[in-house]
């Protein structure tokens, strides 16, 4: 299959989420931010089907993904190799002074919860976004592009559903805010959302993955993510009891530590994960299916 190093121009894609799209330059290095979940996996399949080959595929390892997610990286690498795509490059947080190297280590050292528990997103910025940007700052194709006045093109796996369209809007606002503050990264990257441009929703993502014979990946998130549904927490408790106990250790450290918890009850924000230690799995019902891919 013939491959291109750049996305289709505006006339070649379907409208997605009602957002205007820039016209991309063919000389821009194309980098995929891979999360090892359904959307980013489907995005790579959709690129392959359209003859678009990324120059780099980055996965930021927080050190706290579920074992199923780490195992999926090998599955995905095998498929990438079979279609002539670059293999996944794993990047990690590299502290300047801190003794910890993972999000779990940070929570334990500071006796706190992930920032998402308090309605913030610094854990994602520090342990996912920044490690990727740090790698790109020394990546030769990026340096060459920036020297020539070209931005690196980052492909993000947001599907065309309403929820991800809202996430896109928030992300666009955050980029504009960075630019207004003079953040140098705002001038280094252009963000592209292929699934939205191509009108591919969650069901379309699942069909794409199945269509090339890949298994559906598990929801990608830290095992102690505050956004976890109760059914997902109980699944973790029963399937990975050691990880569940590690999550409880984080929660207990924040509850009993130097800061204490004043605005949230625990990792579940409105409830403590410890309250689910002895609950029957059949008694836990969420509005969404457990571990919805």
Task: Give 58's strand partners.
Answer: 33, 89
Q: Over pLDDT 70: what percentage of the chain?
A: 88
Residue 276 lies in a domain: yes
Q: Are 228 and 269 in contact (CB under 8 A)?
A: no
Which are the contacts of 33, defined by CB distance < 8 A and separation ≥ 6?
Answer: 40, 58, 60, 132, 154, 155, 156, 157
Q: How confident is the model at residue 21 (pLDDT cuts 50, 70, 90)?
A: very low
pLDDT of amino acid 230: 95
Question: pLDDT tens-digit profile of 186-210?
Answer: 899 999 999 999 999 999 999 999 9
pLDDT average, residue stretch 23-40: 85
Q: How many CB atoms lie within 10 A of CB 219?
A: 21
The domain boundary residue, chosen from 211, 244, 264 = 211
Q: In terms of C-beta density within 10 A (0-12 exposed, 13-18 middle, 19 or more buried), how is residue 287 classed? A: exposed
Q: For 6-20, 65-79, 112-126, 233-247, which range has the lowest pLDDT when averaged over its residues?
A: 6-20
Judgement on whether residues 172 and 27 belong to the same structural domain of the protein: yes
Residue 30 sits in the same domain as residue 166: yes
- The per-residue DSSP string of 113-161 comes to --GGGGT--HHHIIIIIHHHHHHHTT-HHHHHHHHTT-PEEEEE---SS
Q: Is the dihedral of CA 218, 152, 102, 118 positive or negative?
A: negative
DSSP one-letter code for 277: T
274-277 long-range contacts, CB within 8 A, separation 24+: 274/248, 276/230, 276/233, 276/234, 276/237, 277/237, 277/248
Specify the pLDDT at position 293.
Answer: 42
- For residue 292, what pLDDT is reported? 42
Tokens of 17: 């989420």
Q: In the chain, what are the helix, strand and coil shares in percent, each to the nearest 5?
A: 45, 10, 45
**Claim to verify: residue 133 and residue 186 sit in the same structural domain:** yes
Residues across the chain: 293
Q: Dump pLDDT digits (tens) for 160-185.
A: 999 999 989 988 888 888 888 988 88
The answer as to whether 292 is a domain residue is no
Same domain? For 206 and 251 the reply is no
112 occurs within a structural domain: yes
Res 26: pLDDT: 59
Tokens 């920044």 appear where? 130
Q: What is the pLDDT of residue 15?
A: 45
* Residue 258 is assigned to a structural domain of this protein: yes
Select the more confidently predicted residue: 293 or 198.
198
> Residue 70: which CATH number?
3.40.50
Q: Is the pLDDT of residue 287 over 70?
A: no
Residue 21 CA: distances (Å) to CA of 53, 84, 159, 192: 20, 28, 15, 8
pLDDT value, residue 13: 41
3-state class (DSSP) for residue 34: coil
Domain assignment present for 70 = yes
* Model confidence, pTM: 0.88
CA gap 272, 116 in Å, rounded: 14
Instruction: Mark whether 45 and 154 lie in a shared domain.
Output: yes
Q: Which domain holds residue 243?
A: 230-283
- Confidence at residue 16, expressed as pLDDT on a 0 to 100 scale: 53
Q: What is the pLDDT of residue 283?
A: 85
Report pLDDT for 121: 80
Q: What is the residue-wise DSSP string for 191-251?
A: EE-HHHHTT--HHHHHHHHHHTTPPPPPPP-BTT-TT--HHHHHHHHHH-HHHHHHHHHHH
Give a yes or no: residue 221 inside a domain: no
For the chain, the domain total comes to 2
What pLDDT score was predicted for residue 289? 43
Same domain, 189 and 237: no
Report the chain's mean pLDDT, rounded to a whole number: 89
Looking at the structure, do residues 43 and 167 belong to the same domain, yes or no? yes
Whether residue 24 is predicted with pLDDT greater than 90 in this model: the reply is: no
Name residues whose C-beta falls within 8 Å of residue 125's C-beta, 6 or more positions apart in sequence. Answer: none
Angle (deg, nearest 10), helices 38-49 and 202-211: 60
What span, in angstroms and rounded, lies between the C-alpha atoms of 4 and 8?
9
36, 138: one domain: yes
On whether the CB atoms of residues 59 and 88 are closer than 8 A, the answer is yes
- Taking only the tens place, the pLDDT of each residue in 218-265 is 999 999 999 999 999 999 999 999 999 999 999 999 999 988 898 999
Look at residue 133 and tell me if it is in a domain: yes
């Amino acid at each position: 299959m013939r491959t291109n190093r750049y996305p289709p121009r505006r006339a070649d894609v379907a409208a997605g989420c009602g957002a205007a799209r820039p016209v991309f330059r063919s000389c821009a290095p194309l980098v995929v931010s891979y999360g090892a979940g359904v959307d980013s996996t489907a995005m790579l399949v959709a690129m392959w089907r359209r003859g678009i080959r990324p120059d780099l595929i980055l996965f930021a390892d927080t050190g706290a993904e579920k074992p199923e997610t780490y195992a999926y990286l090998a599955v995905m690498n095998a498929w990438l190799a079979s279609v002539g795509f670059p293999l996944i490059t794993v990047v990690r947080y590299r502290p300047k002074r801190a003794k910890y190297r993972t999000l779990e280590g940070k929570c334990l050292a500071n006796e706190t919860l992930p920032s998402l528990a308090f309605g913030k997103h610094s854990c994602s910025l520090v342990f996912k976004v920044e490690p990727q940007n740090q790698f790109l700052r020394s990546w030769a194709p990026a340096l060459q592009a920036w020297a020539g006045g070209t931005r690196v093109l980052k492909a993000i796996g947001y599907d065309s559903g309403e929820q991800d369209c809202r996430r896109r809007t928030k992300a666009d606002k955050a980029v504009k805010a960075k630019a207004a503050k003079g953040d140098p990264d705002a001038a280094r990257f252009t963000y592209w959302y292929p699934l939205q441009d191509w009108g591919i929703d969650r069901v379309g993502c699942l069909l794409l993955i199945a269509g090339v014979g890949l298994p559906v990946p598990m929801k990608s998130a830290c095992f102690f993510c505050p956004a976890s549904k109760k059914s997902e927490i109980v699944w973790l408790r029963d399937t990975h009891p050691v990880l569940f106990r590690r999550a409880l250790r984080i929660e207990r450290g924040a509850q009993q530590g130097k800061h204490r918890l004043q605005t949230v009850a625990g990792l579940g924000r409105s409830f403590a994960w410890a309250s689910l230690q002895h609950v029957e799995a059949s008694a836990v019902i969420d509005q969404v299916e457990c571990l919805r891919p």
